[in-house]
C-alpha cells in the first residue's frame, strides 16, 4: 500500500473516531443526532419559521414567525412564538410545578394555568400547552424539541438518505439528510458539521383544499445545548388586569375560557320531545344541572349516554339531567325510547341554544350549579376515562355546597 493510500485509510479511521459514524452512513448520522439531543440536559435556541404557500394568490406573502425555545429536564419549558407583523404572540412556560400559557381571547390577553406534567413528552400532548406550533415535534417531524423530548421514532424505524453536498446555514457548514418517518412527511435536515446540532428543517404538505402546497422552513439563528439557566427563564407572570383561568389541564382551561366557565349559563326555553311542556333554565334554579348537547347520528354521543343514565340514577332528584338535540321530534323521539334515555329531552330545532353555548362538536356536556353558573364543560368522548367517575367528581362538590 502506498503512503498516500495509508494516509487516506488513516484519515477515514480518524473520521469514524471523531464522528462516531461513517460520513456515508446517513442512518448512523441520524442515530447520532438523536443521541446528541437525548443526552443533553438543556437546550436554548432562537429560530425563524417561514411559511410559503404556492401557487400564491393576489397580495399573498410568506408569513414568518420568530420562536424562542428553552428546555431543561425533566419538565421545564419556555416557548414564545411571535409573528413578524405583530398580530400573533403566544407564550408557554413550565417551571416543573405549574404550566402556563398566554393567549389572546376576544382581543384581550388571558393566562391559562394547570399543574405541570412530569415530563416534556406530556407537555407536548394534545391538551398540553402549545410549545411551537407545527415545529414542536409531536407530529413526527424531526425538530429540536422533538429530539430533546424523545418524541421521535428510533433511527432504525426511519428512512434516512444523505444529501448530495455540504451546505452552509447562517455561516455554519452543515451536512444534509432527508428523513422519511412512518407517519410524517419527508423533510430535509441541515446538521452542523462542527457541533452536530440541528440548524434547519424544511418540508412541505398539501393545504386543506389539496390544490396548493404549504412549504415550511425552520431555521435556527442561535442554538446551544446545556446552557446555564436562571429560575425566571421558565416562568410567565400574570400581567396587570389579565384574566387568569386555572384547570386540571391547559386543554380544560382553554375550554373554560371558550365556553365561559365561571359565568352565568345562557338562558334557554325549549320544548320537550313529546311537545307536552316548555322548559326554561330558570325553572331549574336551585338544582345542579347536567346539560348535554347530542344528536341521534353521533356515535360518541351514544357511547356517553350510558354514563349519563348511570349518573342520573345515582343522584336522582338532586340532579337535573337535560339533553338537547337540534333534530326533529320524529327523529329524536324513537331514539330516546329505544335507548331509554332519562332526564329532560328537549329540542333546539334551529340550533340557537347550541350557538349560545358555543357548541362546535358533539357531545358537549356542561355542569351548571344551583345559582345558574357554568362550572364545568367537556367536549367529546374519551374511551379511556371512567365517565361516571369523572361526572361524579364534577357533581359531588356542587351538591356539598
Instruction: Indicate which residues carry an active-site annotation.
Output: 298, 301
Least Cα distance to 382 among 180, 126, 153 occurs for 126
CB atoms within 10 A of CB 218: 24
Dig out the grid coordinates for 303 from the structure: 357511547
E-strand ranges in 156-246 read 159-162, 167-169, 172-180, 187-192, 198-206, 213-225, 243-246
**122-155 burial, b if ≥16 CB within 10 A, otherwise e?**
bbbeeebbbbbbbbbbbbbbbbbbbbbbebbbeb
End-to-end CA distance of the chain: 90
Beta-ladder partners of 365:
292, 378
Cα dihedral: 165, 166, 170, 171 (round 10):
-130
Written as one string, the DSSP assignment of 243-300 is EEEE-SSHHHHHHHHHHTTTSBPPP-EEEETTSS-EEEGGGGTTSEEEEEE--TT-HH
Q: Report residue 399: phi and psi, to 5°.
A: -70, -25
Distance separating alpha carbons of residues 321 and 338, to the nearest angstrom:
18
Burial of 313: CB neighbours in 10 Å, binned 0-12, 13-18, 19+: exposed
Residue 318 φ then ψ, to 5°: -75, -20
Separation CA 44–CA 367 (nearest Å): 42
Could you say which DSSP state residue 153 is in?
Answer: P
CA–CA dist 236, 256 (Å, integer): 20
Q: Which residue has the cell 336522582?
A: 316
Under 8 Å between Cβ of 236 and 93? yes
Amino acid at each position: 500500500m502506498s503512503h498516500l493510500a495509508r494516509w487516506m485509510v488513516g484519515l477515514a479511521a480518524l473520521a469514524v473516531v471523531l464522528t462516531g459514524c461513517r460520513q456515508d452512513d446517513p442512518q448512523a448520522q441520524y442515530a447520532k443526532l438523536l443521541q446528541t439531543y437525548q443526552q443533553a440536559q438543556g437546550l436554548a435556541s432562537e429560530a425563524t419559521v417561514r411559511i410559503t404557500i404556492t401557487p400564491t394568490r393576489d397580495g399573498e406573502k410568506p408569513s414568518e414567525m420568530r420562536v424562542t425555545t428553552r428546555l431543561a429536564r425533566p419538565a421545564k419549558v419556555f416557548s414564545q412564538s411571535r409573528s413578524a407583523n405583530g398580530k400573533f404572540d403566544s407564550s408557554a412556560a413550565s417551571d416543573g410545578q405549574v404550566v402556563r400559557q398566554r393567549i389572546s381571547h376576544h382581543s384581550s390577553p388571558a393566562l391559562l394555568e394547570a399543574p405541570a406534567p412530569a415530563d416534556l413528552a406530556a407537555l407536548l400532548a394534545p391538551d398540553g400547552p402549545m410549545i411551537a406550533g407545527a415545529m414542536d415535534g409531536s407530529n413526527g417531524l424531526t425538530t429540536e424539541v422533538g429530539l430533546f423530548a424523545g418524541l421521535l421514532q428510533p433511527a432504525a424505524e426511519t428512512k434516512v438518505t444523505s444529501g448530495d453536498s455540504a451546505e452552509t446555514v447562517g455561516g455554519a457548514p452543515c451536512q444534509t439528510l432527508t428523513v422519511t418517518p412512518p407517519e410524517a412527511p419527508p423533510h430535509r435536515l441541515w446538521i452542523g458539521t462542527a457541533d452536530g446540532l440541528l440548524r434547519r428543517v424544511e418540508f412541505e404538505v398539501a393545504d386543506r383544499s389539496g390544490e396548493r402546497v404549504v412549504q415550511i422552513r425552520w431555521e435556527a439563528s442561535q442554538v446551544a445545548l446545556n446552557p446555564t439557566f436562571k429560575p425566571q427563564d421558565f416562568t410567565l407572570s400574570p400581567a396587570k388586569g389579565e384574566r387568569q383561568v386555572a384547570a386540571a389541564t391547559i386543554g380544560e382551561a382553554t375550554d373554560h375560557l371558550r365556553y365561559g366557565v365561571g359565568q352565568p349559563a345562557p338562558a334557554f326555553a325549549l320544548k320537550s320531545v313529546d311537545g307536552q311542556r316548555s322548559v326554561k333554565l330558570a325553572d331549574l334554579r336551585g338544582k345542579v344541572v347536567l346539560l348535554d348537547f347530542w344528536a341521534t347520528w353521533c356515535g360518541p354521543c351514544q357511547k356517553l349516554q350510558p354514563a349519563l343514565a348511570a349518573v342520573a340514577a345515582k343522584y336522582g332528584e338532586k340532579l337535573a339531567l337535560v339533553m338537547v338535540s337540534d333534530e326533529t321530534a320524529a327523529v329524536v323521539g324513537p331514539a330516546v325510547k329505544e335507548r331509554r334515555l332519562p332526564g329532560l329531552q328537549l329540542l333546539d330545532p334551529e340550533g340557537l341554544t347550541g350557538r349560545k353555548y358555543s357548541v362546535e362538536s358533539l357531545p358537549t356536556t356542561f355542569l351548571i350549579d344551583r345559582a345558574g353558573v357554568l362550572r364545568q364543560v367537556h367536549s367529546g368522548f374519551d374511551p379511556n376515562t371512567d365517565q361516571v367517575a369523572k361526572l361524579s367528581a364534577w357533581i359531588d362538590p356542587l351538591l356539598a355546597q
